[in-house]
A and B are shown apart, each in its own frame.
Chain A
Amino acid sequence: MKKSIFLVAAILVAVTSCTLDKTDYESEISTVVTEHFEYLEVVSFTKNDYQISIQALNGTFYKGYNDFRLKIINTQTNESLNTSEITFLPISTNYNGNNSSGPHRYNLNYNSTEDYYSGYAVFTNESTDSENWKLYLSFTDNDETYTVDENIIVEAQTNMNLNMTSFTGSDGEQYFIALVAPQKPKIAQNELVAGIYTYNPPSNDAGTFPDASQFSYSEVTDYTLLLDPRMPEPSMGNHSSLNNEDLTQQEDGLYYGIVNYTMTGNWTLNFRMQNQFGEILKGTEVSTEFTPGIEGARSELYIDILF
């Protein structure tokens, strides 16, 4: 009888629980990554009778690539502008008064279905005590042009999957690569989206501040971003994945490719940037050797991600 009581007790203990819980996959891949879906207001200000509001994901501008939606409402008529020419120029001023910007869409596009102006900005650094970002906008209504400027805060991007890098190519041009997607990678094939931009050096002297010609950037066209993702962690021995696809430009101007992440953790996206003539402007080929115990060597051009 004692035996059976013991047995029943043992069985009860066994039935009631697993010793260790299974990993919840969704929360596992969200451990260090938060995915934002919602466009919330980042900043809102007025100019005369106009209320200007800018929305971005999570209501925040981050270092790196930011997609945003801008609306201007005439507070008199309570109607939003839809025929305006809107220009957008973010400028960062550091403690000794030097101005700089980052890749951005200067002339915003109007999205008629959703009734907003869309643009993007790649902020090259976050706001600090000594680095201050300011937006310079202009818009037109009833043949009148209005200009307005407003301080904004750019926060550090904690999601490494939206990291960016800037560098000078072998052609002497200054380039920017900013990751756009995936925000929250999966252990899977992920569509990897990045913006590639170049700085257009001004051909004339600076006019009245802010002179957009001094802060001009453009999306590079018809380049290819060759991709080799690897795990840098020494114990992973330069582990890589397969079936990855190099990034090529699509109609929206961004570059699309495929990256396969075989597990969570630190990954390095090793790049080589190739122009339309097949010349490598930046980046080195990395070793494909499996080298357990040795941290994987990175390309000259890379972005680290973590998920």
Chain B
Amino acid sequence: MKFLTLILLLFAGLFIQAQNTEKKKDSIIALSEVKLISVVKKKIETDMKMAVSVDEFLASSENISFIKRGAYAWEPLLNNMSSERSTITIDGMHVFGACTDKMDPITSYVESNNLSAIDIKSGQEGNMHGATVAGSIDLKRKSTPFGLSKQWNGAYQTGFEFNNKQFFNLANTSYSSDKFVVDGSLAFRNAENYSDGNNDDVEHSQFTKFNASLGLAYKTSELSSVKLEAIYDQANDVGYPALPMDLWLSRALITSATYKQVFEKGLFRALDTKIYFNAIEHYMDDTTRPENLVHMDMPGWSTTYGLLSKANIKKNRFSSEIQLNAYNNLSTAEMRMYPQDRSERSMFAYSWPGVTTTFAGLSINNSWEMSEKSQLNFGGSLGVNYNHSKYVEFNWIFHPGTPQDKTRLLPSLHAGYQLDINKFNFSVGGGYGHRAPSVSEGYGYYIYNSFDRYDYIGNPDLDNEISYEGNASAGYKDDKFSIQASVNYFYIENYIIGRILSLGSPMNYQSIGVKGYTSLDYSTLFNFSLNGSYSILDNLHWKGVLTYARGKDENENNLPFIRPLSYQTALHYQHHNLSFQTSINGDLEQIHYSPEYGEDQTPSYTIWNLSADYTFRIKDYKTVIQVGAENVLNAYYSTYADWGNIPRMGRNIFTSLKFNF
């Protein structure tokens, strides 16, 4: 209740603030993106490579790490926390993977050529799209503004990566007139098995992906527009070398309709309302694994309907974003095991027994420029999360009598202060927030985890995970040199993790026991990053990143999947139309590993990468050609987060060619 009051106060504060300030008109507002709380946009390419997958692009952010189960569909970890602790959205839309084994993080259903940016927010600052602990990752779709002077724009990119014979074709085009905008993209990737640093084939690491997107926007008046968007994604024959199963087919259809209204004057500057629907189907396949004792089908489906409505408010030095999120998701996953004598009765159960999640929440983020030098950001959200298990009798097996429905209240608060003094900048902030258990954590039923080899059982009665966080940063920046240090610390009550159950026996033959999701009293997580850059010459730049993290449970034992000290250093040299990049990155030895959660110690590794690109013109088309090599020295390694210690890719020479028109 306290938090409810606090949140109400936040709203009240906003309006009082707004009324006290005098009205002032802005100049002309173009109907494109109205961003009042600023978001840094990035091009979807890394320093090393211009044709990257969404995963590779995310990997270039220092607070993202990955659990990798193969060459495809990496699970992003934000602040060293697994994906159920962050909200991952596409333009604010919630999409939930349909695979119980996390083979399909949302990032696997988009492609780099239909995104314009990825907006990563750490901790409770990321509460805009729903309750979170780790933060939010919002994948921003491309959105061409109305009335561009050049009506047709587009790009085509093709390339080949030698290690896994990956061939890709990415094309996108847009049409922009005063009234009408079309955005379209097509992407196709096909890769065979990759080979590791010992030049051995990593079997079952192939993939094929097709992605298409279409957006149609129509300007309904000077200051309003409607937009219809769709993404279709299909992956076939995707291998997961770290898992006992592969993917036969996954398909996603992600659709939305948006109405946007901009106001020239007044308190409200923009209203943006979107309704959306997405459906995902995911079919695992183990017929490619003859060594498996049991043939098993594991299909999963996830369907989400949602609404989000956002208002931007601005008064002088005060700006605010208010967002209403509502969605309804149905996740169902089945398993069917076949006896050795296939004529006999198959064995069936739901691994997600038809679990509905309905969420509605209101979020508000405010930004107050107290002076030229200082800014206060604060906000909060309150959400209601409702779960319903259709076949609750599955849950009763482990948790007799647990209610079929569960409603949770999920509050969140955060505040941060930023100060710029000359070339120095400082920030300090804190946050508090709840999250509800995920479908697997709450309702999962014998979900086999091939990492620690346990079958996992959800617990519908788990308490909300409650996060208290603090963060701070300090930096210095001048024309040639910059350095930025950031730390954050999470104290998470009721930290949800699997613990061995003395009850029951495994269902999957590879399994060694049953774990139930339980709440630890608390756990703590500490993240540190240091970024530096230096312009050695006008055309020679250096960049370096150092990150460190530490995660401990209530008994001071290590949490799993915490990145050891890692580093990256890169040089970039530009000579006319030619540029060279080289980088070295690696992790130190993983000292703080967690045998309890199936981890073993991962040795250190160092990877050296190189690339060169050349920009020229063919007629009017700007063309870039790039050649490079990742893991030049063909090091054999696997990282702390490689599922089952599968080796990473050995030397990979990549080429790519891009036309812009």
A263–B347 CB distance below 8 A? yes
Q: Which single residue of chain B is at the shortest CB-CB distance from A23?
A: B334
Query: What residues of A have a CB within 8 angstroms of the CB of B503 in the complex?
Result: 242-243
Q: Which B173-226 residues have C-beta < 8 A from chain A?
A: 173, 182, 184, 186, 212, 214
**Docked complex Cα distance between A20 and B249 (Å):** 10
In the assembled complex, A44 has its CB within 8 A of some CB on chain B? no
Residues in A whose Cβ lies below 8 Å from that of B446: 262
Instruction: Let me know if A4 is at the binding interface, CB within 8 A.
Output: yes
What's the minimum C-beta distance from A295 to chain B, rounded to whole angstroms?
Answer: 10
CB of A32 within 8 Å of the partner chain: yes
CA distance A243 to B397 in the complex (A): 7
Q: Is the CB of A243 within 8 A of B344?
A: no
| Inter-chain contacts of A242 with B (CB < 8 A) | 397-398, 503-504
A293 CB within 8 Å of chain B:
yes
Contact check, A14 vs B251: say whether CB atoms are below 8 A apart: yes
By the criterion CB–CB under 8 Å, are A266 and B345 in contact?
yes
Nearest B residue (CB) for A189: B396
CB pair A234 B340 closer than 8 Å = yes
Q: How far is the CB of B210 from chain A (nearest CB, A)?
A: 9
Please state if A235 and B509 are interface contacts (CB–CB under 8 Å). yes
Q: Is the CB of B212 within 8 A of A10?
A: yes
Are A264 and B345 CB-contacts (below 8 A) given A22-B332, A239-B507? yes
Closest CB in chain B relative to A127 CB, distance in Å: 27
Which residue in chain A gives the minimum CB-CB distance to B397?
Answer: A260
Instruction: Decide: A293 near B509, CB < 8 A? Known: A235-B340, A242-B504.
Output: yes
Asked whether B293 is an interface residue with its Cβ less than 8 Å from the other chain, the reply is yes
B332 x A262 contact (CB < 8 A): no
Measured between alpha carbons, how far is A227 from B253 in the docked complex, in Å? 48
Establish whether residues B509 and A14, one from each chain, have CB atoms under 8 Å apart when the complex forms.
Answer: no
Bound form: Cα–Cα A260–B345 in Å: 19
Nearest A-chain residue to B349, judged by Cβ: A263
Q: How far is the CA of A262 from the CA of B446 in the complex (A)?
A: 9
The number of chain B residues touching the other chain, given as a range, is 35 or more
Of the candidates A23, A25, A189, A234, which one forms a contact with B400 in the assembled complex, judged by CB atoms under 8 Å apart? Answer: A189
Residues of A within 8 A of B230 (CB): 7, 11
On chain A, the residues within 8 Å of B398 by CB distance are: 242-243
- Counting CB contacts under 8 A, is B152 at the interface? no
Point out which of B347, B503, B509, B513 has the most chain A C-beta atoms below 10 A from its C-beta.
B347
User: In the complex, what residue of chain A is closest to B212 when comparing beta carbons?
Assistant: A7
Asked whether B283 lies within 8 Å of A10 as measured between CB atoms, the reply is no
* Residues of A190-238 whose CB lies within 8 A of B: 231, 233-238
B505 and A238 form a contact (CB under 8 A): yes
Q: What bracket does the count of chain A residues touching chain B fall in? A: 35 or more
- Is residue B598 contacting chain A, with contact meaning CB distance below 8 A? no
Q: Are A243 and B400 in contact (CB under 8 A)?
A: yes
Closest residue on chain A to residue B338 by CB atoms = A235
A234: which B residues are within 8 A, CB to CB? Answer: 340
Q: Once the chains bind, are A20 and B509 in contact (CB under 8 Å)?
A: no
Across-interface contacts of A290 in B (CB, < 8 A): 505-506, 511-513
Binary contact track B341-361/A, C-beta < 8 Å → 1, others 0: 000111111100000000000
Q: Are A15 and B393 in contact, with the CB atoms below 8 A?
A: no
B394 touches A265 (CB 8 A): no
Is residue B391 within 8 Å, beta carbon to beta carbon, of the partner chain? yes
Q: How far is A239 from B230 in the complex, measured between Cα atoms in Å?
A: 45
For residue B339, CB closer than 8 A to chain A, the reply is yes
Name B336's closest neighbour in chain A (CB-CB).
A23
**Would A239 and B505 be within 8 Å (CB), given that A188-B394, A231-B347, A265-B347 are in contact?**
yes
A235: contacting residue among B335, B339, B348, B396, CB under 8 A: B339
- A246-275 vs B, CB cutoff 8 Å, 1 = contact: the mask equals 000000000000001011111000000000
Contact B293 A235 (CB under 8 A): yes
Minimum CB distance partner of B171 in chain A: A3
Given A10-B232, A15-B253, the answer on whether A262 and B349 have CB atoms closer than 8 Å is yes
**Residues of A contacting B397 with CB < 8 Å?**
187-189, 241-243, 260, 262
Interchain residue pairs with CB less than 8 A apart (13): A6-B212, A7-B230, A14-B232, A18-B281, A19-B281, A23-B336, A233-B340, A236-B337, A238-B505, A240-B505, A242-B397, A290-B513, A306-B345
- List 5 other contacts, CB 8 Å, given A11-B253, A241-B397, A243-B400: A14-B251, A15-B253, A22-B334, A243-B398, A263-B337
Closest 5 interchain pairs by CB? A188-B393, A265-B347, A292-B509, A263-B349, A242-B503
